[in-house]
Amino acid sequence: MLSIDRSIVEAIVAHARRDHPDEACGVVAGPAGSDIPTRHIPMDNAARSMTFYEFDSMEQLRVWREMDDRDEEPVVIYHSHTATEAYPSRTDVSFAGEPGAHYLLVSTREPDTEEIRSFRIVDGVVTEEPVRIVDAAVDPHAVQSYMFGQSPATVDYECSGR
Amino acid sequence: MAIEVRIPTILRSYTGGAKVVEGAGDTLGDLLTDLDSRHAGLKARLVTDAGALHRFVNVYVNDEDVRFLGALDAKLNDGDSVTILPAVAGGAFGFAAAAALSQHRASVAGRVAHDAAVAAH
């Protein structure tokens, strides 16, 4: 299962909408071994195509090095399909080179709704997995309403008055 | 001195899990042959049967994509750092299909030109 923060999903969808009808692509990095996507990195689609995406090789080197330096790994690799369903194509499968990553697909073919699905692709085998969209417990940039029974962190946040 | 080679996760099964290995060679092709002598099977994942660098990987010498340095003929020096990454690509209508279509188009265009030449005679 992929657990991913709602704000990251919203940022991915916004990226996909912005680049529509071209395919959009990117990465969500997370601490190595954590399986938690935390840092959204929209990437250029070097192919600038409605039917193909490709990371720019130099941008990829920079981003992959940065992840290495920060002890992160690509937890999610995402791209959009702009006229078809959010399911990996044969090309997606043949290129899938990060066995530890969640391959997230967003379909923007409907103007008002997005189809968001996640897959593991290992040795050419595609396995769909559930996507759990989670709301952050504490968002330091937003004023939160207090609800009794929330985590101590949230209560602290409320009481600190920041 | 040797050349340091960074291996991506997907190919570490060939290096006993090692993230970085060392090798030697005057060109990238030589280096991969040298690595393959200790990490059998690695080269076949990087080089096609036709002897070209595989489409599914990116290889860098220091900070340069080897596709701009002569690919497998790229010159190497002791102390260089080689990085291998999986190319990230795909899409609804993919590279393989696009390549097949462009080849088909080229052959159709060739046939049309041939027919026209024949008709002109």
What is the CATH number for A120? Answer: 3.40.140.10
Of these ranges, A128-137, A147-156, B110-119, the one predicted with the greatest mean pLDDT is A128-137
Establish if A103 belongs to a structural domain. yes
**What is the residue extent of each domain of chain B?**
3-86, 90-121
Q: With an 8 Å Cβ cutoff, is A99 touching chain B? A: yes
Contact in structure between A20 and A82 (CB atoms under 8 Å): yes
Interatomic CA distance for residues A139 and B18, integer angstroms: 39
Q: Within 10 A of B75 (CB to CB), how many other CB atoms are there?
A: 13
The two tokens of residue A110 are: 């409907």
Residue A96: closest CA among A126, A118, A71? A126
Establish if A147 belongs to a structural domain. no
pLDDT at A107 over 80: yes
The two tokens of residue A10 are: 């919203």
B91, A47: Cβ pair inside 8 Å? yes
pLDDT digits (tens, 9 = 90+) for B29-74: 999 999 999 999 999 999 999 999 988 899 999 989 999 999 999 9
Q: With an 8 Å Cβ cutoff, is B68 touching chain A? A: no
What pLDDT is attached to residue A138? 53
Asked if this assembly's ipTM is beyond 0.85, the reply is no
Among the four given CATH numbers 3.90.550.10, 3.10.20.30, 3.30.420.40, 1.10.10.10, the one describing domain B3-86: 3.10.20.30
Residue A37: closest CA among A66, A69, A78, A68? A78
Establish if A153 belongs to a structural domain. no
> Residues with Cβ < 8 Å from B63, sequence gap 6 or more?
A61
Contact in structure between B70 and A81 (CB atoms under 8 Å): no
Establish if A156 belongs to a structural domain. no
Establish if A143 belongs to a structural domain. no
Range of the domain at A65: 2-137
Q: List residues bridging with B5 in a β-sheet.
A: B21, B82
For B59, name the nearest residue in chain A, comparing CA atoms only: A57
